[in-house]
Chains A and B, each alone.
Chain A
C-alpha cells in the first residue's frame, strides 16, 4: 500500500471512530422526544411503536396528515364509528395534532346516538381520556384545556367543579380573552357566587386597563359590555335569591318505575317543579363503576350498559306551549304559582331496540337513578329554586349534599334497584344522591399549576356506597 493511500485509510478510520462517539451523544437526546415517551392515551391500545415505525421511518407526520384527510371523508359520509380508531392512530403517530384530539374527542363524546337519538355514553370516558392525553402531550397549548372545560360544563357531564380548573389552565396558557368568561360561568354553576362576582370584576378591570391604552378597540368595548351585563345580572340575582330559603318550593315529587317488557321500562311521575326542569335518569350496570376502573374499553363496549337521559318536566297534559306575547319568565310565574299546577314526566325506554348499545349482561342487576340538580336548571328556574337548591324542598326525596371543598347542594334523588331482568327489587327515596352530580364516576382530575406540567389523574371513584 502506498503512503498517501495508507494515510487516507488512517484518516477514514479516525473519522469513523469519531462519528461513533458523536452518535452516542446525539441518540439519547432523540430518545426523549420519540412518541413512545409521550402518552398514547387510554387503555386497550397496546400496539408497539416499533410496528408502525418499521413501516414509516421518517414519515410519521405525513401519514398522520393523510389519515386525517381520510377521517374527514369518513365524517362527511356519516361513518362516525370508523373515525374513532383513526384518531387514535393519528395522534399516536403525531401527538401534536391538536385538531385531531379536539375533533376526535368530540366525535366520541357527542356524535354517537342510539335509535331513539339518545346519547351513547359508552364512549364518554374514552373521549375524556383521549382529550387529556392531548393535553398531556401539548400542555402549552390552551385549546384542549378549553375543550375540556367546555365538556365538563356541558350537560353531558355537568361536572362543574372541574370547569373552573380547566378554564383557568387555559387562561394560564394564553387563551383568548372571550374564553375566560367561562371561569365565571363555571364558578356560578358551582354555586360560588361571590367568587364568580369577583372574577367578573377582575375581567372588567383587565378590560378597562386594555381600553385605557386602546380606547377605539370595538371588540374590547363589546366585551366590556358583556362583562358588565353579566356582573350586574349576577349581583342582582344574588340579592333576588337571598330569601329563597325562607320560601321554599315543595317539589311534591313522585317518581315511579314500571317494567314493560324484557328490556323495556317506563319512568314517570309528577312534580311541582316548573316546566323546562330536567330530571336526570341514569341507568347502568350495578358494577359499572367497578368495570370502568378494571376492564378495558373493548370489553366495556361489548358488555357494559349505561344510559343517561334528561327527562323534561312538562305540563300534566304533556304539552309545552308558551302563549303568544308572554315571556318564559312570566309564563313560569303564571304556571307554577297557579293553584293546582302540577308538572309531569313520562318516558319509556326500549333498550331492546339497540342490543349493541345496551347488552344488558350484568348478572348483579342494574341501578336506575332519577335525580334533579338545580345547578343545571335554566336561569328562570334557578330564580325560584336557587343556585344550590336553597329554595327547594321535598318531604321524601330531598338530599343535602356537602361535597368536600364545594358549596353544599340540595338535590332530589330516587334510586331503583333492579334485578338482571329489570324487575324492581327496591325503591330507595334519597338513594344514590351523587348521581345528581354525574361525572364523578368518570374521573377526578387534580390540576397542578406548576408551569410545564400537565394535569394529574385520579381515576375513578365509587358513587354507590
Chain B
C-alpha cells in the first residue's frame, strides 16, 4: 500500500502542476468571489444567490477538474512511456491503478476544500455566521466527483481519451436526471419503458442523490430536512463507495489483462 501511496502523492503534485487544472481552480475561486457583487439585493436574497451560485461553481469546476485530470491520468503516461519506468519497479498493476485513483481523489479533495473554505468565508462575511453545514454540500459534491473520477479512470483503460470524455459526460448527464427518470418510471403505464428506465437507473449512477444543496441554501424551508441529516449521508457515501469499488475492480481487471 505504501507504493500506491507514493504514486498517489506524485499524482497530486503532477496534477497541480498542470496549467489547465490550475486555470480551472483559479477560475472557480474567482467566480465564487464574483458572487459578492450581488450586494444590491436584500440580505436573504443575497445569501440565496451566493450559496446557489457558489455550489454550482464548485460542482461545475469540480467536474471539469475531475474529468480533464482523470481521462489523461493513465493514457498520458502510456503515451509518454513513463508508465514503463513505473511498472519496471516492483509495482503491481493494481497498486498503480489504486495509486493513480487515490492521487486523483486527493487532488479533488484539496481543490474542493479550498473552494469550500472560500465559499464559507464569503457566507460568513455576509451573514456573520460560519455555516459548517455548507460543508455537507461540499462533501456531497465530493462524493459525486468521486464516482465520476472512478468512471473516468475505469474508462481510461478501456477506450480512447476522446471517447472517454464523451462517455463520462453522457453518464453524468443521464445520472443527473435520475429524479426525473424515477418519476417517469413510476408514472408510466408502459411496461417496456418502465423496464428500460429501471435498468438504466440500476446501471448508471444516480448523481441526483448527491444534490442536497436546496436545503443548505434555504435552511428555513420546511422540506428536504432529511437530506442534510447524517443518516442520508451515510447512505449516499455507501452508494458512492460501492460504485467506486466496482469500477476500480473493473479497471484493475482490464489493466491486468492489458499489455502496456
Contact = CB atoms under 8 A, between A and B. Distances in A.
Interface of A: 5, 8-9, 11-12, 15-16, 18-20, 22-23, 25-27, 29-34, 36, 38, 49-50, 53-54, 57-62, 64-66, 68-69, 72, 94, 96-99, 137-141, 452
Contact of A68 (B49, B51, B184, B227): B49
Given A18-B242, A27-B178, A29-B226, A65 B53 contact: yes
Contacts of A22: 235, 238-239, 242
What 9 A-B pairs come out closest when comparing CB atoms?
A57-B176, A62-B56, A61-B52, A96-B218, A96-B221, A140-B222, A19-B242, A65-B52, A12-B249
B259 interface: no
Given A50-B183, A62-B56, A138 B246 contact: no
A348 B250 CA distance: 82
A19 B42 CA distance: 44
Contacts of B162: none
A62 B53 contact: yes
B8 to A, nearest CB: 21
B243 interface: yes
A50 B185 CA distance: 12
Q: Is chain A's interface secondary structure helix, strand, loop, or mixed overall?
A: helix
A61 B202 CA distance: 27
B214 A61 contact: yes
A30 B180 contact: no
21 contacts: A5-B256, A9-B253, A15-B249, A16-B246, A20-B202, A25-B235, A26-B206, A30-B179, A57-B208, A58-B207, A60-B214, A61-B214, A62-B53, A65-B49, A68-B49, A72-B41, A96-B214, A96-B223, A139-B222, A140-B220, A141-B221
Contact of A30 (B56, B208, B238, B239): B208
Q: Is chain B's interface secondary structure helix, strand, loop, or mixed overall?
A: helix
B235 A58 contact: no
A139 to B, nearest CB: 6
Given A57-B177, A65-B48, A11 B183 contact: no
B166 interface: no
Interface string B233-253: 001101100110110011011
A19 B186 contact: no
Contact of B245 (A15, A25, A57, A98): A15
A69 B252 CA distance: 48
Contact of A11 (B48, B176, B223, B249): B249
A133 to B, nearest CB: 14
Nearest to B51: A61
Contacts, number: 144
Nearest to B239: A22
Contact of B179 (A31, A97, A99, A137): A31
Contacts of B150: none
B41 A34 contact: no
B211 interface: yes
Nearest to A7: B249
B180 A49 contact: yes
Contacts of B257: 5
Contacts of A97: 48, 218
Contact of A64 (B40, B52, B176): B52
A23 B147 CA distance: 15
B243 A19 contact: yes
Interface in B43-83: 44-45, 48-49, 51-53, 55-56, 59
B162 to A, nearest CB: 24
A138 B45 contact: no
A184 B173 CA distance: 54
Nearest to B45: A99
Given A30-B209, A98-B44, A12 B55 contact: no
B130 interface: no
B200 to A, nearest CB: 11
Contacts of A139: 222
B222 A138 contact: yes
B253 A5 contact: yes
A305 to B, nearest CB: 36
A53 B207 CA distance: 13
B224 interface: yes
Given A31-B182, A58-B211, A138-B221, A15 B246 contact: yes
B156 to A, nearest CB: 18
B217 interface: yes
B237 to A, nearest CB: 11
A54 B173 CA distance: 9
Given A61-B56, A61-B217, A72-B41, A26 B222 contact: no
